[in-house]
């Protein structure tokens, strides 16, 4: 199987499909894990027009894709790319938990659920900023 995948990845279209598939899988898994620990349902909040939830979720989506982009640019195998991406996703997840823990004055999740856009913007910027730091360390 590995030889078949490697053969497919020797073609530019195969590379595109392979990395695209990894990106979609990463988005699904990471956003699902985020849903498990968040004290609000981000998709339900977004459907209600909650801009803060949209900003926070959009930041996470960008951060996931950005970490994967850096993993791809490292020009390693797709298997190494997936390892780096998973490690980066874990760091982003830890950053989310730290953000909630390090703000004792208010609950980040509760403020996002209340559509506090200032908290949504900070959440977005933390995700995006850390994705650049994580990505710069991938080689």
**Phi, psi dihedral angles at 44 (to 5 degrees):** -65, -40
User: Can you say whether residue 115 is alpha, beta or left, with left for phi > 0 and alpha for psi between -120 and 50 degrees?
Assistant: left
Q: What is the per-residue pLDDT for 11?
A: 78
DSSP 58-96: HHHHHHHHHHHHHHHHTT--HHHHHHHHHHHHHHHHHHH
Q: Considering the entire predicted model, what is its pTM?
A: 0.84
Provide the number of structural domains found in the chain.
1
Q: Print the domain residue range for 67.
A: 2-136
> What's the length of the chain?
139
Q: What is the per-residue pLDDT for 65?
A: 92
Where would I find the beta strands (DSSP E) of 6-49? Answer: none
Q: What is the per-residue pLDDT for 6?
A: 67
Q: What is the per-residue pLDDT for 38?
A: 83
**Residue 107 contacts residue 39 (beta carbons within 8 Å):** yes
Give, for all 139 residues of the chain, the pLDDT tens digit. 556 766 777 778 888 888 888 889 989 998 898 888 888 888 999 999 999 999 999 999 999 999 989 888 887 777 888 888 888 889 988 988 888 888 888 889 999 999 999 999 999 999 999 999 999 988 7
Q: Which residue has the tokens 């996470």?
A: 60
Q: What is the per-residue pLDDT for 134?
A: 92
Q: What is the per-residue pLDDT for 1?
A: 54
Q: What is the per-residue pLDDT for 2?
A: 59
């Amino acid at each position: 199987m590995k030889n078949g995948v490697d053969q497919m990845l020797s073609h530019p279209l195969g590379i595109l499909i392979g990395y695209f598939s990894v990106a979609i899988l990463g988005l699904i898994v990471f956003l699902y894990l985020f849903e498990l620990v968040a004290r609000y349902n981000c998709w339900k909040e977004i459907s209600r027009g909650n801009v803060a939830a949209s900003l926070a979720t959009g930041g996470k989506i960008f951060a996931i894709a950005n970490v994967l982009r850096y993993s791809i640019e490292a020009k390693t195998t797709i298997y190494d790319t997936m390892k780096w991406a998973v490690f980066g996703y874990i760091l982003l997840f830890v950053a989310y938990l730290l953000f909630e823990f390090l703000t004792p004055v208010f609950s980040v999740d509760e403020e996002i659920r209340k559509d506090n856009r200032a908290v949504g913007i900070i959440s977005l910027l933390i995700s995006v900023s850390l994705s650049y730091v994580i990505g710069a360390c991938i080689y």
